[in-house]
Amino acid sequence: MAGYTKSQLENLRNDIVFDCSLLGYPFRLHSTWGVFSPREVDRGTLLLLDHLDIASTDDCLDIGCGYGPLGLAMARQACDGVTHLLDKDFVAVDYASKNAVINKIDNVEIYLSNGLSAVAAEARFDVIVSNLPAKAGKELFYLYFHDARARMRPGARIYVVTINGLRQFIKRSFSEIFGNYKKIKQGADYTVSVAEFDPEFKPTGWD
Protein backbone atom coordinates (compact mmCIF):
# COMPACT_ATOMS: atom_id res chain seq x y z
CA MET A 1 0.00 0.00 0.00
CA ALA A 2 1.36 3.43 -0.92
CA GLY A 3 2.41 5.71 1.90
CA TYR A 4 1.80 9.43 2.31
CA THR A 5 3.74 12.24 0.73
CA LYS A 6 5.13 14.99 2.92
CA SER A 7 2.35 17.38 1.91
CA GLN A 8 -0.31 14.76 2.55
CA LEU A 9 1.10 14.13 6.01
CA GLU A 10 0.98 17.86 6.75
CA ASN A 11 -2.67 17.90 5.68
CA LEU A 12 -3.37 15.10 8.14
CA ARG A 13 -2.13 17.38 10.92
CA ASN A 14 -4.78 19.96 10.12
CA ASP A 15 -8.02 20.02 12.07
CA ILE A 16 -10.96 18.11 10.63
CA VAL A 17 -13.79 20.65 10.42
CA PHE A 18 -17.47 19.99 9.75
CA ASP A 19 -20.87 21.60 10.27
CA CYS A 20 -23.84 19.83 11.85
CA SER A 21 -27.12 20.41 13.65
CA LEU A 22 -27.49 19.15 17.23
CA LEU A 23 -30.74 19.58 19.19
CA GLY A 24 -31.76 21.94 16.42
CA TYR A 25 -28.76 24.23 16.91
CA PRO A 26 -26.06 24.80 14.27
CA PHE A 27 -22.52 23.82 15.21
CA ARG A 28 -19.12 23.99 13.58
CA LEU A 29 -16.92 21.30 15.13
CA HIS A 30 -13.19 20.73 14.99
CA SER A 31 -11.66 17.32 15.60
CA THR A 32 -8.50 15.39 14.81
CA TRP A 33 -7.32 11.89 14.03
CA GLY A 34 -7.21 9.71 17.12
CA VAL A 35 -10.40 10.96 18.79
CA PHE A 36 -13.64 9.01 18.47
CA SER A 37 -15.58 9.51 15.21
CA PRO A 38 -13.48 12.48 14.02
CA ARG A 39 -15.21 13.17 10.69
CA GLU A 40 -18.83 13.28 11.85
CA VAL A 41 -20.94 12.96 14.97
CA ASP A 42 -21.49 9.25 15.51
CA ARG A 43 -24.90 7.62 15.22
CA GLY A 44 -25.05 6.66 18.90
CA THR A 45 -24.63 10.27 20.01
CA LEU A 46 -27.25 11.45 17.51
CA LEU A 47 -29.71 8.82 18.74
CA LEU A 48 -29.12 9.86 22.34
CA LEU A 49 -29.60 13.55 21.53
CA ASP A 50 -32.91 12.74 19.85
CA HIS A 51 -34.25 11.35 23.13
CA LEU A 52 -32.90 13.66 25.82
CA ASP A 53 -35.24 15.73 27.99
CA ILE A 54 -33.32 18.82 29.11
CA ALA A 55 -34.69 21.95 30.77
CA SER A 56 -33.03 25.34 30.31
CA THR A 57 -31.99 25.43 34.00
CA ASP A 58 -30.53 21.91 34.21
CA ASP A 59 -26.99 21.30 35.37
CA CYS A 60 -25.60 18.54 33.16
CA LEU A 61 -22.64 16.17 33.00
CA ASP A 62 -21.20 14.43 29.94
CA ILE A 63 -18.94 11.49 30.85
CA GLY A 64 -16.44 10.78 28.06
CA CYS A 65 -17.15 13.94 26.08
CA GLY A 66 -14.73 13.42 23.20
CA TYR A 67 -14.46 16.62 21.18
CA GLY A 68 -17.74 17.77 22.69
CA PRO A 69 -20.80 17.31 20.45
CA LEU A 70 -23.05 15.82 23.13
CA GLY A 71 -22.03 18.03 26.04
CA LEU A 72 -21.94 21.25 24.03
CA ALA A 73 -25.39 20.59 22.58
CA MET A 74 -26.69 20.00 26.11
CA ALA A 75 -25.06 23.23 27.30
CA ARG A 76 -26.75 25.20 24.55
CA GLN A 77 -30.12 23.67 25.46
CA ALA A 78 -29.56 24.13 29.22
CA CYS A 79 -28.50 27.74 28.73
CA ASP A 80 -29.30 28.78 32.32
CA GLY A 81 -27.42 25.85 33.89
CA VAL A 82 -23.82 24.67 33.81
CA THR A 83 -22.69 21.62 31.86
CA HIS A 84 -19.55 19.70 32.77
CA LEU A 85 -17.70 17.85 30.00
CA LEU A 86 -15.01 15.41 31.01
CA ASP A 87 -12.76 12.89 29.35
CA LYS A 88 -9.62 10.95 30.27
CA ASP A 89 -7.97 11.89 26.94
CA PHE A 90 -6.25 15.29 27.01
CA VAL A 91 -6.60 15.65 23.23
CA ALA A 92 -10.37 15.21 23.49
CA VAL A 93 -10.54 17.78 26.30
CA ASP A 94 -8.47 20.24 24.24
CA TYR A 95 -10.81 19.91 21.28
CA ALA A 96 -13.96 20.10 23.39
CA SER A 97 -12.60 23.33 24.88
CA LYS A 98 -11.75 24.66 21.42
CA ASN A 99 -15.25 23.81 20.16
CA ALA A 100 -16.84 25.59 23.11
CA VAL A 101 -14.99 28.78 22.13
CA ILE A 102 -15.70 28.39 18.41
CA ASN A 103 -19.42 27.95 19.08
CA LYS A 104 -19.53 30.72 21.74
CA ILE A 105 -20.68 28.44 24.56
CA ASP A 106 -19.46 29.64 27.96
CA ASN A 107 -21.75 27.87 30.45
CA VAL A 108 -19.42 24.86 30.52
CA GLU A 109 -16.61 23.39 32.57
CA ILE A 110 -14.35 21.07 30.56
CA TYR A 111 -11.60 19.06 32.19
CA LEU A 112 -9.61 15.85 32.39
CA SER A 113 -11.08 13.13 34.58
CA ASN A 114 -10.69 9.38 34.88
CA GLY A 115 -14.35 8.52 35.10
CA LEU A 116 -15.74 10.97 37.67
CA SER A 117 -12.52 11.16 39.70
CA ALA A 118 -12.04 14.90 39.10
CA VAL A 119 -15.69 15.85 39.63
CA ALA A 120 -16.10 17.67 42.93
CA ALA A 121 -17.70 15.47 45.60
CA GLU A 122 -20.24 18.18 46.36
CA ALA A 123 -21.25 18.72 42.71
CA ARG A 124 -24.84 17.81 41.88
CA PHE A 125 -26.47 17.36 38.49
CA ASP A 126 -29.95 17.12 36.97
CA VAL A 127 -28.93 15.23 33.83
CA ILE A 128 -25.95 12.89 33.36
CA VAL A 129 -25.18 11.30 29.99
CA SER A 130 -22.64 8.99 28.45
CA ASN A 131 -22.06 7.37 25.10
CA LEU A 132 -20.54 4.26 26.65
CA PRO A 133 -17.60 2.71 24.78
CA ALA A 134 -18.44 -0.93 24.15
CA LYS A 135 -14.97 -2.23 24.98
CA ALA A 136 -14.40 -0.31 28.22
CA GLY A 137 -15.56 -3.16 30.46
CA LYS A 138 -18.52 -3.63 32.76
CA GLU A 139 -16.42 -2.97 35.86
CA LEU A 140 -15.77 0.57 34.64
CA PHE A 141 -19.46 1.06 33.89
CA TYR A 142 -20.37 0.10 37.46
CA LEU A 143 -17.91 2.71 38.73
CA TYR A 144 -19.46 5.31 36.41
CA PHE A 145 -22.99 4.53 37.55
CA HIS A 146 -22.26 4.48 41.30
CA ASP A 147 -20.20 7.67 41.08
CA ALA A 148 -22.95 9.31 39.01
CA ARG A 149 -25.57 8.27 41.56
CA ALA A 150 -23.61 10.02 44.31
CA ARG A 151 -23.78 13.29 42.37
CA MET A 152 -27.42 13.29 41.27
CA ARG A 153 -30.15 15.51 42.67
CA PRO A 154 -33.45 13.84 43.59
CA GLY A 155 -35.31 13.15 40.36
CA ALA A 156 -32.18 13.56 38.24
CA ARG A 157 -31.80 11.30 35.22
CA ILE A 158 -28.90 9.35 33.79
CA TYR A 159 -29.05 8.56 30.08
CA VAL A 160 -26.70 6.20 28.28
CA VAL A 161 -26.43 4.99 24.71
CA THR A 162 -24.84 1.60 24.09
CA ILE A 163 -24.53 -1.00 21.40
CA ASN A 164 -27.54 -3.30 21.50
CA GLY A 165 -25.42 -6.13 22.88
CA LEU A 166 -25.13 -4.24 26.21
CA ARG A 167 -28.86 -3.61 26.54
CA GLN A 168 -29.54 -6.35 29.10
CA PHE A 169 -26.48 -5.39 31.15
CA ILE A 170 -27.70 -1.78 31.34
CA LYS A 171 -31.17 -2.94 32.35
CA ARG A 172 -29.75 -5.11 35.13
CA SER A 173 -27.21 -2.60 36.43
CA PHE A 174 -29.61 0.37 36.37
CA SER A 175 -32.21 -1.70 38.24
CA GLU A 176 -29.60 -2.70 40.83
CA ILE A 177 -28.14 0.78 41.34
CA PHE A 178 -31.11 3.10 40.75
CA GLY A 179 -34.08 0.81 41.33
CA ASN A 180 -35.54 1.61 37.91
CA TYR A 181 -34.80 1.36 34.22
CA LYS A 182 -36.46 2.46 31.00
CA LYS A 183 -35.52 1.66 27.44
CA ILE A 184 -36.28 4.83 25.51
CA LYS A 185 -35.26 3.77 22.03
CA GLN A 186 -33.72 0.75 20.38
CA GLY A 187 -32.37 1.31 16.90
CA ALA A 188 -30.66 -1.03 14.49
CA ASP A 189 -27.36 -0.86 16.37
CA TYR A 190 -27.80 1.27 19.49
CA THR A 191 -30.10 1.51 22.52
CA VAL A 192 -30.85 4.58 24.63
CA SER A 193 -31.64 3.85 28.27
CA VAL A 194 -32.48 6.04 31.27
CA ALA A 195 -32.78 5.73 35.03
CA GLU A 196 -34.00 8.26 37.59
CA PHE A 197 -32.39 8.92 40.95
CA ASP A 198 -34.60 8.15 43.93
CA PRO A 199 -32.72 8.94 47.18
CA GLU A 200 -35.00 6.53 49.07
CA PHE A 201 -33.76 3.57 47.03
CA LYS A 202 -30.62 1.88 48.32
CA PRO A 203 -28.63 -0.53 46.15
CA THR A 204 -28.33 -4.03 47.54
CA GLY A 205 -25.70 -4.13 50.28
CA TRP A 206 -25.69 -0.33 50.80
CA ASP A 207 -26.87 1.36 53.97
**What angle in degrees, to the nearest 10, is found between the helix axes of 90-102 and 69-77?**
40
- Specify whether the CB–CB gap between 149 and 197 falls below 8 A: yes
Give the residue extent of every domain in the chain.
42-196
Q: How confident is the model over 97-113, as pLDDT tens digits?
A: 999 999 999 999 999 99
- Report the predicted TM-score, pTM, of the whole model to 2 decimal places: 0.95
Q: How confident is the model over 146-189, as pLDDT tens digits?
A: 999 999 999 999 999 999 999 999 999 999 999 999 999 999 99
The CATH-assigned architecture of domain 42-196 is 3-Layer(aba) Sandwich (3.40)
Amino acid at 68: G
Give 35's DSSP letter: B
Greatest C-alpha distance within the chain? 62
